[in-house]
Amino acid sequence: MENTTNTNHQSPKKQIARQGKMSPPEIESWMTYSWETKQQTPARLEDAAKYLAVMMTVAITLFLGGIGKNAVLTTSSWWIKSIPLLWCLSLILSFLVLYPKKYRFHASSAESIQEMTEKIIQWKQRIFFAASLCFLVGMVLLVWMFIV
């Protein structure tokens, strides 16, 4: 994603100005903000996945180091045994968000780069959502273990 060559060789500000009359500065600044935010989304998803991975590691360590280890080894309840498995799955999914995939795009085509960026964002969002869901289900099961 380093090569962000635009086929028109224009920034979004110049493209807005070409569409008719000049846009007010507020609209230009919001369009620029929207454009830059979309470009930074993959990095933000990766940061969130890093934090989730840290939370997973702490949760697994505390759970298996404390009361959870005995509960997992001595119980026959599937839902108690699924807690560390869900958290491990969440950890793996978090690492998949960080793992770089190969994407095909034409470096000289701005449309190709934009499509590739949108595919990266969609893929990382889906994987991060699945990782978060596994973590939350594990937390709900852990709370349920103490309630029951």
Query: Would you list the DSSP string of 6-62?
Result: -TT---HHHHHHHTSSPPPHHHHHHHHHHHHHHHHHHHHHHHHHHHHHHHHHHHHHH
Tell me the C-alpha distance between 2 and 82, whole Å. Answer: 41
Q: Would you place residue 130 in the very low, low, confident or very high pLDDT band (cuts 50, 70, 90)?
A: very high
Q: What is the mean pLDDT of residues 35-45?
A: 84
Q: Which pLDDT does position 119 carry in this prediction?
A: 87
The DSSP secondary-structure symbol of 4 reads -
Yes or no: say if 96 and 68 are a contact pair by the CB < 8 Å rule: no
Residues 33, 101, 47, 94: what is their CA dihedral angle, to the nearest 10 degrees? 140
In the chain, what percentage of residues exceed pLDDT 70?
A: 76
CA pair distance 114, 105, nearest whole angstrom? 9
How would residue 129 be classed by pLDDT, with cut points 50, 70 and 90?
very high
Question: Averaging pLDDT over each range in 17-26, 86-95, 96-105, which range is the top one?
Answer: 86-95
Element counts in the chain: helices (H) and strands (E): 5, 0
Mean local confidence (pLDDT), 51-71 = 77
The alpha carbon dihedral of 136, 138, 142, 144 has a sign of positive
The pTM is what? 0.69
Q: Where are the domains of the chain?
A: 43-147
- Specify the pLDDT at position 93: 93
Q: How far apart are CA 88 and CA 58, in angstroms?
A: 12
Is the pLDDT score of 105 beyond 80? Answer: no
Query: Once rounded to an integer, what is the mean pLDDT over residues 127-132?
Result: 94
Q: Locate 107 and state its tokens.
A: 């470096």
Give the pLDDT of residue 69.
Answer: 61
How far apart, in Å, are the Cα atoms of 48 and each of 36, 40, 104, 136?
Answer: 18, 13, 25, 15
pLDDT band at 73 (very low <50, low <70, confident <90, very high): low
| Residue 2: its H or E element | none
